[in-house]
Amino acid sequence: MSTPTTSPAPAGPGGLAPKIAAEEEARVSAGRRFIDRLIRARELGLLVVLALIVIVTGVIEPNFLDADSLKQTVLNVAIIAVMTAGMTLVIVTRNIDLSVGSILGLSAFVCGDFLTKNPDVPWPVGVVIAVVIGAACGLLNGVLVTWGRVPALVVTLGTMYALRGVAFLVTDGRQINAEDLPDSFLTAGSGDLLGIPTLIVVALLVIALFWFVARDYAWGRQLYAIGSSGRSGGQAAKLAGLKSDRRVTQAFVISGALAGLGGAMFAARYGTVDATAGQGYELRVIGAAVVGGVAIAGGSGSVLGAALGAVVLGTIQTALIVLKIDDFWQQAIVGLLIIVAIALDRLIAKQSEALLRQRSARRRTAA
């Protein structure tokens, strides 16, 4: 993470003081580096797990490694990964968004319906409509959470219900089929861009953008500050002068907009959309974020880690199918992974805390 290094110790009158200070600084930064490494280790650990799954599955069933199968795997992950990026921003502020699955369903249908009825309009207009619908739903969530002071769990549980109901009302029992959709839209969903499937390009761009913004920009760091300043909705961050309500609302808007984008991607990839589209996605998205190291208590985790979490979960899903392991194990394994991930996080945090305490004690006795 981008923690600034400690300023150099002021030069003391004697020769001894600066030496101790320098040593101390070296120790402190060693501790920092250790923590830094732990955080990076999360992403590294996920990559190791991913490599293991791919290699083991590939050895047992070489079909898994052919280009087409890998492409299908990554395509399946793309939609979840895009939504996970938005969810990460929301969870980092110590909130949660359970409504993303319903937003996906609503926007996927409206987008598909619009393109079906207006085949002459270029398809990006449909995508924009989906994103705008998602952003509007996200704005509703954000305003209720910040201005209405209603806990995010309650708000998004409510909008999850209500928006699914709206999706059912809008669809009115209809279903959109692939043959109704303009070909250009479907080609965009299954086609390539510079040799890479378009949906994957979109996912990579979204992940890179929000990873970068959350990691290196003040806007992103403020989200972390809000999430780590206590139960009371970022009180410390507020007192420090952050516009925490506005940041939280923006995080919800982004999460909604990305769920809307996920809806457009869903319509383009599958071609078949009804009112139940995206049901249960909220738990898959939250699960991916949690496996990817985003702490549900807010204040820590990265968009990149969360995206890797989505890739790991998606790959396991495909690997199980390829290995012909009973489909039924899939959900149990996902659940187990979520629990192991958060338990590991906790143990590592405890250990590094103990280690740092030990070091600071040693430093004190040395001084």
Residue 164 or 269 having the CB closest to another protein: 164
The two three-digit tokens of residue 8, written as one number: 């150099």
Q: Is 147 in the site for another protein (CB under 8 A)?
A: yes
Residue 88 or 222 having the CB closest to another protein: 222
Cα–Cα dist 294/193, whole Å:
31
Binding to another protein, residues 275-314 (CB under 8 A) = 275, 283, 286-287, 290, 296-297
Cα–Cα dist 271/251, whole Å:
29
Query: From the list 2, 68, 120, 149, which residue makes contact with another protein (rule: CB under 8 A)?
Result: 149
Residue 47 or 169 having the CB closest to another protein: 169
The two three-digit tokens of residue 107, written as one number: 């926007």
Burial 42-58 (b: 16+ CB within 10 A, else e): bbebbeebeeebbeebb
Q: Is 336 in the site for another protein (CB under 8 A)?
A: yes
Query: In angstroms, what is the minimal distance from the CB of 123 to another protein?
Result: 21
CA dihedral 86, 304, 291, 298 (to 10 degrees): -60
Q: Is 217 in the site for another protein (CB under 8 A)?
A: yes
Binding residues for another protein, total number by CB under 8 A: 71
Binding to another protein, residues 159-198 (CB under 8 A) = 159-166, 168-169, 172
Q: Which stretch binds another protein (CB under 8 A): 69-77, 116-124, 200-208, 339-347?
A: 339-347
Q: Is 157 in the site for another protein (CB under 8 A)?
A: yes
Site string for another protein, 51-90 (x = CB under 8 A): ----------------------------------------
Query: In angstroms, what is the minimal distance from the CB of 153 to another protein?
Result: 6
Q: What is the identity of the amino acid at 331?
A: Q
Q: What is the SS3 assignment for 305-366? A: HHHHHHHHHHHHHHHHHHCCCCCCHHHHHHHHHHHHHHHHHHHHHHHHHHHHHHHHHHHHHH
Binding to another protein, residues 237-256 (CB under 8 A) = 238-239, 243, 245-246, 249-250, 253-254
Query: In angstroms, what is the minimal distance from the CB of 241 to another protein?
Result: 8
Q: Which stretch binds another protein (CB under 8 A): 70-78, 115-123, 151-159, 352-360?
A: 151-159
Q: Which stretch binds another protein (CB under 8 A): 15-23, 197-205, 265-273, 325-333?
A: 325-333
Q: Is 263 in the site for another protein (CB under 8 A)?
A: no
Residue 108 or 181 having the CB closest to another protein: 108
Q: Is 3 in the site for another protein (CB under 8 A)?
A: no
Q: Is 331 in the site for another protein (CB under 8 A)?
A: yes
Phi-psi region of 97 (alpha: psi -120 to 50; beta: other; left: phi over 0): beta
Query: From the list 78, 155, 304, 316, which residue makes contact with another protein (rule: CB under 8 A)?
Result: 155
Phi, psi dihedrals of residue 89, rounded to the nearest 5°: -60, -40
210 CB neighbour count, 10 Å cutoff? 24
Cα–Cα dist 143/163, whole Å:
16
Residue 168 or 270 having the CB closest to another protein: 168
Which 8-state DSSP code applies to residue 63? G
Query: In angstroms, what is the minimal distance from the CB of 88 to another protein?
Result: 14
DSSP string, 202-260: HHHHHHHHHHHHHHHSHHHHHHHHHHTS-TTTSHHHHHTT--HHHHHHHHHHHHHHHHH
The two three-digit tokens of residue 252, written as one number: 């919800």
The alpha carbon dihedral of 262, 153, 156, 284 has a sign of positive
Residue 106 or 115 having the CB closest to another protein: 106
Q: Is 205 in the site for another protein (CB under 8 A)?
A: no
Residue 185 or 210 having the CB closest to another protein: 210
Which 3 state secondary structure label does DSSP give 5?
coil
